[in-house]
Amino acid sequence: MEHQKPWTIVLIDDEEDIREVVRMTLEDAGYIVHTAADGRSGLALVHDRTPEIVITDIRMPVMDGLAVLEAVKKELPDTEVIIITAFADIDLAIQALQLDASDFVTKPLNYGALHLALKRAADRYVSRKQLKDYTALLERDKTITTRELVKSINFQRKLIESSMDAIVACDTGGRIIMANPSMSQLSGIERDALVRETTMGQLFSEDEIKRMAQELDSERLGGKNRLSLFETTLFDHGGKRIPVQVSAIRLFEDDQQEGLVLFIRDLRDFYRLERAMEDQARILHQDKMISLGRLAASVVHEINNPMSGILNYVRLMKRTLDKGGMDSTRIDKFARYLDIVDREISRCSYITGNLLAYTRKSPPAFETISIADLLDRCILLCSHKLELQKIELKTEIPKDLPKVRGDFNQLQQCVLNLIFNAVDAMPRGGRLTLRSGVDEKAGGIFLDVEDTGTGIRDEDLSCIFEPFFTTKQEGYGVGLGLSTVKEVMQRHGGDVRVKATGSGATTFRMALPAADG
């Protein structure tokens, strides 16, 4: 890697502990590291220090990581940017890659992955700088011919051999005159065949070549004669379409166009990540609909009681009106009846409102959450079901419990899944205990769902969190509940474990990091 001085890195993260640990780790590895607690001060550091690499958290107050990425790329387009993200923000990470981020690493940080991302960013920085210098040399040299251009590119090919992005150059007729190994790998065409036999018309459709030329003529995507972050499809050797992102620059000699250089990034991995997120969201919603079916009967019974009371009081008031005359005594009765009706209608509204909020399909939204509030909502939705099943409810929730950070809807779904499993394990009644507290050793919050039911067999313990594994009779579950809980917990930086005996109490423990770290 051709780089004379130590690499300079600006690290931006609003969590002080993460900044200090990462700074010490990178300085031990030989990097010069400057840190900032927010996006604005981080950009000031970037302006002053001109680093080769910027590492920024994607979730920060005032100015988030995407805004930092765009600002850095606008001021120092050659600087590489690595995004730090949580797994739940993977769609934002994909967006960052589309905005020309070098790479992303997920929390909690794996330092092996971080060093690998830094190596890739350094390789990309060197390759891009060398290619930029070489392109500038070609543009300045007014005497070079097409044959000399091909010869010179071949001679300098070592500058772009290690590029992760595919690079290809063509003449004004669209004939390929240079391609790097990544281009050969992407297209599935031998490099010699690319240069000798291939044209732009074989790699891109005629309509896409016209659209690319129109964008190069305009100022819209990178400026005139330049193209940036242009999404299209490329044909491989078998005619299969590959989604790609193209950046390009036209080469000129004496104001005459001599050729075109394209930098091509394969988007298939990005799209696979997007599809994986969509699949996860679909499974999560499917599991939620199963839970809704189990809640429906209980909620109907819960609403039926206040509705019966409302009906009775309305009939009493109608009977009073039929008798005629409204003295002060009857008016007082009417006022009491209306007050009762108002309270009962409010109760129904609160129950149905919480049910609708639970079933609503919405994107993940991480926020600071009170465990007590979370359990209150869950108890409201399933309390009548517990009464019908003759299950005693016991809660052990400290008032001063630290808050957690997460998606309220997803965590509510996890708790309800565990409550429903506990109810199924106690067909003849029993006791359900919801317990929470601080795990000093792990530095987080735990939430226990404990039942006095039939227990879990030892041979099933290793399988219960696998998708579609179920011990229930057909028609009583498809085995998604616990696997969904496990996946959501991991997405929140936590975990779920089970402590069970063959017959007796079973405890599921959800563990989450505290919001204050």
Helix (H) or strand (E) holding 196: helix 191-197
Bigger pLDDT: 159 or 160? 160
Query: What are the angstrom distances between the C-alpha of 201 and each of 169, 191, 261, 263?
Result: 13, 17, 15, 17
CATH 3.40.50.2300 applies to domain 8-125: yes
SS3 476: coil
Through-space distance between the first and last CA atoms of the chain, rounded to whole angstroms? 38
List the one residue out of 111, 44, 53 whose CA is nearest residue 78: 53
List the one residue out of 414, 427, 421 whose CA is nearest residue 494: 414
Q: For 414-430, what is each residue's pLDDT tens digit?
A: 888 888 888 888 888 89
Phi, psi of 478 (to 5 degrees): -115, 5
Domain ranges of the chain: 8-125, 141-266, 273-513
Least confident range of 92-101, 203-212, 443-452 = 92-101
Averaged over 118-146, what is the pLDDT?
72
Half-sphere exposure of 64 (CA within 13 A, CB side): 9
Half-sphere exposure of 94 (CA within 13 A, CB side): 17
Q: Indicate the average pLDDT of the chain.
A: 78
% of the chain beyond a pLDDT of 90 = 15
Query: What are the angstrom distances between the C-alpha of 162 and each of 149, 153, 265?
Result: 21, 15, 14
Bigger pLDDT: 488 or 345? 488
Averaged over 149-177, what is the pLDDT?
73
Cβ(476)–Cβ(294) under 8 Å?
Answer: no
Q: For 324-371, what is each residue's pLDDT tens digit?
A: 666 777 677 677 777 767 766 766 665 665 555 555 555 567 889 999
The predicted model scores a pTM of 0.39
Cβ(264)–Cβ(239) under 8 Å?
Answer: no
% of the chain beyond a pLDDT of 70 = 73
Q: What is the dihedral of CA 477, 482, 484, 487, to 10 degrees?
A: -160
Averaged over 377-402, what is the pLDDT?
84
- Cis omega (within 30 of 0) on the bond before 108? yes
Averaged over 220-237, what is the pLDDT?
83
Q: Give the fold, CATH level 3, of 273-513.
A: Heat Shock Protein 90 (3.30.565)
CB atoms within 10 A of CB 70: 14
- Per-residue confidence at 479, pLDDT binned at 50, 70, 90? very low
Question: Rounded to an integer, what distance in angstroms lies between the CA atom of residue 52 and that of residue 40?
Answer: 18
Q: Give the fold, CATH level 3, of 141-266.
A: Beta-Lactamase (3.30.450)
Q: What is the pLDDT of residue 193?
A: 87
Q: What is the pLDDT of residue 474?
A: 42
Question: Rounded to an integer, what distance in angstroms lies between the CA atom of residue 443 and that of residue 437?
Answer: 11
Residue 33 has pLDDT above 90, yes or no: yes
- Pair type for strands 8-12 and 53-57: parallel
Q: For 169-222, what is each residue's pLDDT tens digit?
A: 888 888 998 888 888 888 888 888 888 788 988 999 999 989 888 888 887 766
